[in-house]
Chains A and B, each alone.
Chain A
Amino acid sequence: MVVNLRGLNMSGNSVAHDQYRLDFKELDGRLVPDSPSWLSENRQIAFSEFENLGFRTTKRANERWKYTNIAPLARTGFRYRFEPNEDVVTIRSIRELLPWHEDWTRLVFVDGMYSDLLSNPDNNSSDVYVGQLREAMVDRSDVIENSLGSLVSYSKDGFLAANMAFLSDGAFVHVSNGVSPRKVIHLIFVSTGDEDPMVSYPRTLVLAGSGSDMTLVESYVGLLNNSYFTNAVTEVLVEDGSKVEHYRYMKESQDAFHVGTSRVQLGRDSTFSSSSFSQGSSIARNDLGVTFNSPGSSCSLSGLYQASDSEHVDSSIDIDHASPNCSSDQYFKGILDGNSRGVFSGKVLVRPEAQKTIARQADKNLLLSEGARINTKPSLEIFADDVVCSHGATAGALADELMFYMMSRGIDEKTARSLIVYGFASEIIDKFNLAPIRDRIECLLLDGSDFQ
Chain B
Amino acid sequence: MLDIRDLQVEVSGERILKGVNLTVNAGEIHAVMGPNGSGKSTLTHVIAGKPGYDVVQGEVVFEGIDLLELSPDQRAREGIFLAFQYPVELPGVRNRQLLKSALDAVRLHRGQEELSAREFDKLFKTKVKEIGMDAELMKRSVNEGFSGGEKKRSEILQLSMLDPKLALLDETDSGLDIDALKSISESINRRVSSDRSTLLVTHYQRILNYVQPDCVHVLVDGIIVESGGRELASELEASGYKSFKDKDIQE
Contacts and interface: CB of A to CB of B under 8 A. Distances in A.
A404 B106 CA distance: 16
Contacts of A401: 88
Interface residues on A, range: 20 to 34
Interface string A383-403: 000000000000000001110
B111 interface: no
Contacts of B38: none
B90 A420 contact: yes
A419 B101 contact: yes
Given A404-B50, A404-B72, A411 B102 contact: yes
Interface in B34-52: 48-52
Contacts of A411: 73, 76, 98, 101-102, 105
Interface stretch (A11-19, A203-211, A423-431): A423-431
A20 B217 CA distance: 77
A420 B94 CA distance: 10
Contact of A402 (B50, B90, B162): B90
A404 B51 contact: yes
Interface string A32-68: 0000000000000000000000000000000000000
Contact of B73 (A400, A407, A424, A425): A407
Contact of B162 (A406, A410, A413, A422): A410
B92 interface: yes
B235 to A, nearest CB: 33
A409 interface: yes
Contact of B91 (A407, A409, A424): A424
- Judged by DSSP, the binding face of A is helix
A446 to B, nearest CB: 13
Nearest to A429: B92
B87 interface: yes
A141 B72 CA distance: 67
B71 A407 contact: yes
B88 A419 contact: no
B97 interface: yes
Nearest to B161: A409
A349 interface: no
B225 to A, nearest CB: 28
A413 B71 contact: yes
B93 A423 contact: yes
B91 A427 contact: yes
A335 B135 CA distance: 31
B97 A408 contact: no
6 contacts: A401-B88, A402-B88, A410-B106, A412-B73, A419-B98, A420-B90
Interface of A: 400-402, 404-413, 415-416, 419-420, 422-427
